[in-house]
Amino acid sequence: MNYKKACKHLGIEETATLTKEILKKHYRMNALRYHPDKNNTPEACSKFQEIHASYDFLLKTIDGENIFNVNLENEFDEEDNNDSYAGILMSFIKNIMKNDGIQNSLYYIIIEKISNVCEKKALDMIEKVDKTVLIKIIEIIGKYREVLHFSNDFIEKIRMVLNKKIENDECIILNPSIDDLFENNLYKLVVNNTTYIVPLWHDELVYDNNGNDLYVKCFPILPENITIDNKNNIHVNITYDVKEILDKDIVIVGIGKKNCEINPKELLLMKNQTVVLKNEGISKINTVDIYDISKKSNIIVYITLE
């Protein structure tokens, strides 16, 4: 095993900056896709072992161990040391959703159950699921259909069940700016003579609207080099000239009105690197108190030097 081969096995760009978060994301998706418990193709077992070994190798690389010693004992992080399908699925769901542990467990239980019974029993189960939960379930299995081994036909049948549940509901889409998110701005929304105060740093909220559900979704308008992940961390891609960096006392990264400072002395003379500005991002989502702004997310800056 070598670095290039391990990256190829997990679908990771060899030249990209590799972090534990990126490695774990690729491992979980590939492990679920090729897990022998779900994938019946002849090569699934060997492919899964290959993915397992590649993850172990790259994890040791990140941890600074000897990347040339392929005989070192596997030492997975506690979160990903369970190679059972159920264990990987739980870890996968936990890391793609923002909700607390109880809600994540609910998504896991439903997805795990509908994947292990016949279609009729699965649809019967889906009929009994609350529509708010079902929306998230469809979001997960629709986005990760191949990874979770669900057919388009089955997902469409689930959508039909959901459509019956929400036929009288309403959905409002808001487009806040990045500055709205940093400033913790609220939006006054009036629907059917009822006023709702919407915290714009939440991606989705559900309100009662005269017995029906009112879904409010926030899709921020962002520059092309900025994205926001499912934990409200802000990811910024930026390119600098090496000479330009060396001449500066402080590197300023502009995100809307906010200026983030990076000390050039902390940068390495390498093409790609990542700087994490902890607790300098937008407010984290609190599903219990939606107006809570006490905890901040991170800003993750991906720097390319030319």
Residues 125 and 34 in one domain: yes
Identify the helix (H) or strand (E) that includes residue 64: none
Residues 236 and 208 in one domain: no
Report percent pLDDT > 90 for the chain: 44
Range of the domain at 38: 3-166
Distance CA 140, CA 29 (A): 12
Give residue 97's pLDDT: 73
Residue 282 in this model has a pLDDT that exceeds 50: yes
Written as one string, the DSSP assignment of 237-295 is EEEE-HHHHHT-SSEEEEETTEEEEE-GGGS-SSSEEEEEETT-SSBPP-SSSTT--SS
pLDDT tens-digit readout, 17-56: 788 888 988 999 999 999 998 898 988 899 999 999 999 8
Residue 67 in this model has a pLDDT that exceeds 50: no
Give residue 75's pLDDT: 38
Average pLDDT over residues 269-297: 93
Q: Which residues contact 91 (CB under 8 A, 6 or more apart)?
A: 28, 79, 80, 82
Residues 178 and 117 in one domain: no
Give residue 101's pLDDT: 60
Distance CA 28, CA 44 (A): 15
Residues 158 and 12 in one domain: yes
Number of domains in the chain: 3
Residues 114 and 139 in one domain: yes
What does each C-alpha distance from 266 to 33, 64, 196 come to in angstroms?
Answer: 39, 19, 45
Give residue 46's pLDDT: 92
Residue 70 in this model has a pLDDT that exceeds 80: no
Give residue 195's pLDDT: 95
Identify the helix (H) or strand (E) that includes residue 41: none
Distance CA 108, CA 191 (A): 34
Residues 129 and 209 in one domain: no
- Amino acid found at 82: N
Residues 11 and 147 in one domain: yes
pLDDT tens-digit readout, 178-222: 999 999 999 999 998 899 999 999 999 999 988 888 999 999 999
- Amino acid found at 112: E
Residue matched to tokens 């039909």: 160
Residue 256 in this model has a pLDDT that exceeds 70: yes
Of 134, 149, 166, which one is at a domain's C-terminal end? 166
Beta strands in the chain (DSSP E): 170-174, 186-191, 194-199, 204-209, 212-218, 226-228, 234-240, 251-255, 258-262, 272-277, 299-305
Of 133, 148, 166, which one is at a domain's C-terminal end? 166
Please count the other Cβ atoms lying within 10 Å of the Cβ belonging to residue 273: 15
Residues 158 and 236 in one domain: no
Give residue 182's pLDDT: 97
Band of residue 99 on the pLDDT scale cut at 50, 70, 90:
low
Residues 31 and 94 in one domain: yes
Band of residue 79 on the pLDDT scale cut at 50, 70, 90:
low
Mean pLDDT taken over the chain: 86
Give residue 243's pLDDT: 82
Average pLDDT over residues 113-139: 89
Average pLDDT over residues 237-252: 86
Distance CA 177, CA 43 (A): 47
Distance CA 88, CA 29 (A): 9
Residues 202 and 254 in one domain: no
Give residue 290's pLDDT: 96
Residues 30 and 152 in one domain: yes
Give residue 237's pLDDT: 93
Distance CA 282, CA 44 (A): 41
Residues 152 and 7 in one domain: yes
Give residue 102's pLDDT: 64
Give residue 210's pLDDT: 85
Average pLDDT over residues 114-129: 89
Sequence length of the chain is 306
Take residue 216 and report the two structure tokens written for it: 């409010």
Stretch among 59-63, 218-222, 253-257 having the lowest mean pLDDT? 59-63
Give residue 65's pLDDT: 44
CATH number for the domain spanning 256: value is 2.60.260.20
